[in-house]
């Protein structure tokens, strides 16, 4: 037993020496701690992105589908020929509409959650907002197909209410509804965070100075939650920009999105370089979006 104790003592002495050495040499400590995550970031994250960029300058033999490692700008030139500009525009348009829709729905909802509801109701609402995220994305999209298709729940309800049948299955309207539904929690949560941080005293001061509710909302609340709205919009905008499953399942005959073209080029045409080039379109759009958001001051409170 005493032998074990000695060994333990020795090993703890060794540990102490190592830790003392690390304490003395701060750079060594930093290097050891940072190397694994940094290596992961470099190799897995950045290198794969760079590789994708490099691939975008290659081409495939159209007949045998073999990758040709010779440099060409053909993929980028093709982006500016029909129908790709239409497809990019359609995608950005949908992303913008979905973002605005979610912001408009989420603002009153989050306001109620953060400032009006009792703690118990708030917990319930939080669960209600996050609950859909626990279910499979696919299951939720399929549920919407059942709701929106001809003779589906929506059409059945409206015709029984005497409003006539509503057939919006497999249309861009259907896509708009499904996208807005699916990404809504990503807007509510950051907005809730932003609204919760507004000091009650500011709202009271606004009221004391004679501002009505609407004016307080416009001049006090909105500017203060703008970073929250923009944080949420980054989610809703970029998620819509990259999605291909909802257009594929819910969309009609005009449902080609950037994501679908990428998917087709990988799955059907097997044109990796062209898909890689297209993958940069959302990245470039997001860079401009974030620069715009920064100009609006969205990141100042980060």
Partner 1 sequence: MTASGTKGTGERMKPRRSRLAGVLIGAAATALLVVALIPSGASASHVNAGLVAPEANAPVPSSIGKGEGKLNLIAWEGYVQPEWTKPFEKQTGCQVNVKYGTSSSDMVSLMANGGGHQYDLVSASGDADLRLIYGGDVRPVNLALIPAWKDLQPFLQSPSFNTIAGKHYGVSFEFGPNVLLYSTKTFKTAPTSWSVIYNKKYAGQITVPDDYIQIADAALYLSKTQPKLGITDPYELTTPQFNATVALLKAQHPLVKKYWDLASQEESLFQSGTTVVGAAWPVAVSTLIADKDAVAETIPKEGATGWADSWLLATNAPDPNCAYRWMEWMTTPQIQAEDAVSYGETPGNKLACPIMDKIQKGSCEGLHANAPASYFQSLYFWKTPLATCDNGKNDCEPIQNWVAAWTQIIG
Which spans of this chain sit near partner 1 (rule: CB under 8 A)? 42-43, 46-47, 49-51, 54, 61-69, 82-84, 86-87, 145, 149-152, 167, 169-170, 248-249, 251-253, 255-256, 261, 264, 267-270, 300
Could you tell me how many residues make up the chain? 302
What is the closest distance, in whole angstroms, from the C-beta atom of residue 281 to partner 1 in the complex?
Answer: 14
49 vs 130 by CB, closer to partner 1: 49
Compute φ and ψ for 60, nearest 5 degrees: -120, 150
Cα→Cα distances 239→13, 127, 187, 225, 232, Å = 53, 22, 11, 21, 11
Q: How far is the CB of 220 from partner 1 (least distance, A)?
A: 19
C-alpha triplet 145, 232, 140: angle, nearest 5°: 20
| Runs of H (alpha helix) within 135-271 | 137-148, 153-160, 172-196, 200-208, 213-216, 222-242, 245-250, 258-267
The answer to whether the beta carbons of residues 56 and 76 sit under 8 Å apart is yes
Cα separation of the two ends of the chain: 56
Structure tokens at 4: 């074990």
Minimum distance of partner 1 from residue 36's CB (angstroms) = 15
Rounded to a whole number of angstroms, the minimum distance from the CB of residue 273 to partner 1 is: 13
CB of 278 to partner 1, least distance (A): 11
Nearest-approach distance from CB 296 to partner 1, in angstroms: 13
Q: What one-character DSSP code corresponds to residue 163?
A: S
Nearer to partner 1, 23 or 156 (CB): 156
Whether residue 262 contacts residue 278, with contact meaning beta carbons closer than 8 Å, is answered with yes
Residue among 203 and 293 whose Cβ is closer to partner 1: 293
To the nearest whole angstrom, how small is the minimum distance from the Cβ of residue 300 to partner 1?
5
Residue with Cβ nearer partner 1 (155 or 206): 155
C-alpha 184/C-alpha 202 separation (Å) is 28
Residues 276, 288: Cα–Cα separation, whole Å: 19
Query: What is the sign of the dihedral through the CA atoms of 76, 81, 86 and 87?
Result: negative
The kind and range of the H/E element at 59 are strand 59-60
Comparing CB distances to partner 1, the nearer of 62 and 119 is 62
Nearest distance from C-beta of residue 169 to partner 1, angstroms = 6
Cβ proximity to partner 1: between 112 and 264 the closer is: 264
Structure tokens at 235: 């989610």
Nearer to partner 1, 105 or 224 (CB): 224
């Amino acid at each position: 037993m005493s032998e074990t104790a000695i060994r333990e003592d020795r090993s703890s002495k060794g540990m102490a020496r190592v830790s003392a050495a690390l304490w003395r040499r701060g750079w060594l400590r930093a290097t050891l701690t940072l190397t694994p995550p940094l290596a992961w970031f470099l190799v897995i994250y950045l290198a794969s992105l760079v590789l994708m960029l490099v691939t975008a300058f290659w081409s495939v033999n159209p007949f045998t589908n073999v990758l040709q490692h010779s440099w060409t700008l053909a993929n980028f030139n093709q982006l500016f020929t029909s129908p790709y500009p239409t497809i990019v525009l359609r995608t950005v348009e949908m992303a913008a509409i979905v973002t605005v829709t979610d912001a408009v729905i989420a603002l009153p909802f989050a306001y109620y959650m953060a400032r009006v509801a009792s703690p118990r109701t708030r917990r319930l609402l939080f669960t209600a907002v996050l609950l859909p995220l626990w279910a499979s994305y696919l299951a939720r999209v399929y549920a919407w197909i059942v709701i929106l298709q001809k003779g589906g729940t929506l059409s059945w309800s409206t015709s029984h209410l005497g409003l006539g049948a509503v057939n919006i299955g497999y249309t861009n309207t259907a896509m708009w509804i499904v996208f807005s539904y699916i990404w809504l929690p990503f807007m509510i949560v950051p907005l809730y965070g932003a609204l919760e941080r507004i000091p009650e005293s500011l709202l009271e001061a606004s009221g004391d100075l004679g501002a009505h509710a609407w004016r307080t909302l416009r001049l006090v609340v909105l500017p203060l939650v703008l970073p929250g709205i923009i944080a949420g919009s980054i989610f809703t905008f970029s998620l819509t920009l990259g999605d291909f499953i909802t257009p594929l399942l819910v969309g009609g005959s005009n449902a080609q999105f950037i994501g679908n073209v990428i998917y087709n080029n990988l799955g059907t045409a097997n044109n990796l370089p062209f898909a890689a080039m297209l993958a940069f379109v959302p990245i470039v759009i997001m860079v401009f979006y974030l620069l715009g958001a920064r100009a609006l001051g969205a990141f100042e409170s980060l």
